[in-house]
Structure formats: structure tokens, C-alpha cells
Amino acid sequence: MEKVIQGKAYVLGNNIDTDQIIPAEHLVYSLNDEEESKKYGHFALSSVPLEQAGLPGGRIPFIDGDKWQSDFNIIIGGSNFGCGSSREHAPFALEKAGVKTIIAESYARIFYRNSVDGGFLIPYESPIKLNDKIKTGDQLEIDIENNIVKNLTREEEYVLNPLGEVFPIVNAGGLFNYARTTGMIS
């Protein structure tokens, strides 16, 4: 895993649910077929209410046109990110769209676990509200080892909550890969 993640921020509000992350009508695509699974990336965040799409002005698309990967690889969310149903497709869709990490005030437990267990992306928590300090399009740099996010656009720096015991699981590519590499399963 990279020690530093750099990229553009996409900012969202509170209570972004799994149906907004990947709408139920798009759960028909194969997760295992490489070409078909790109649809998950294409439709990621396609149901976010317009007023929350790229806050504060709203209406900034996450995916541009017919692309399946976003120009934004870091999501900044508010509280209760990933609430709603327990669909594992939500973190998968964000990963397919090119997201490497999400920084939120808090997560719905099932979304957090699905992100970690599948090794899809890094779910950082911030001790302070960042979705009113970071703007969509800001260039960010996340130092994974030191749990720091630098806003290169605004020359600001914030400390993130440590990943703790979930880091080696995400770093291994998910729970089963972690269990294999540590000898828990063969």
C-alpha cells in the first residue's frame, strides 16, 4: 500500500447512504467480470441529492460523462457515511471509481466493516468536521503512517484518527488475505 495518497477531494454532507453510493437498480452487474464491473464505478454516487453533490454549491458530478473512473480519488464526508442497507457493493463501487480513501466524521458500522473486510478503501475518521474546511477539487495529500491530511490547495493540515488494527487488514487487501498472510487460515 502507498505510504502517501495524493489526489483531488470530493466533498459530501451527512448521512450519505448506500443507495446514494450505488443505487439498487445498478446491482445487476457482475462483480467478477472486469468490463461489466466498471458499471459500478460509472454509477457510483449517481443518486446523491444535487444539493450535496460536491458541496457547498452542489451539482458537481462525481463521474464525468461516460467515464467509469472519477477525477476525485479522496472523498470527504460528514457524519454517518454509508448508512442504509448492508450492501457490500457500496465500497466496491467507490473503489471501482478510483477512490482510495474516505475521510468522514463517522461511518455506519456495516459500511466501515465492508470497506475494511473487502480491503476496498481506507476509511479514515476525522476528530473534526472537515467537509466545511475542504472544498471539492482541493488537492490533498494523506500521510498514511502519520495519520495526517494536508490540503495543498489551502495550505492547511489536519490530524486524522489512527487506523489502528484495521490498517493491516486493508493493507493486506481484505480480511481473508490478511488471515492467510498471518497464518490464521491456509
**Separation between Cα atoms, residue 22 and residue 6, nearest integer Å:** 24
Residue 58 covered by a domain: yes
User: Tell me, what CATH number does 94's domain have?
Assistant: 3.20.19.10
Residue 109 covered by a domain: yes
Q: What is the pLDDT of residues 152-161, one digit of tens each?
A: 999 999 999 9
Residue 41 covered by a domain: yes
> Could you give the percent of the chain with pLDDT greater than 90?
80
Q: Averaged over 170-184, what is the pLDDT? A: 91
Q: Among all chains, which residue has been given the C-alpha cell 486524522?
A: 160
**Separation between Cα atoms, residue 64 and residue 69, nearest integer Å:** 8
Q: What is the pLDDT of residues 95-152, one digit of tens each?
A: 999 999 999 999 999 999 999 999 999 999 999 999 999 999 999 999 999 999 999 9
Q: What is the pTM of this model?
A: 0.92
What is the span of the domain harbouring residue 105? 4-181
Looking at the 3D structure of the chain, how many domains does it have? 1
Residue 186 covered by a domain: no
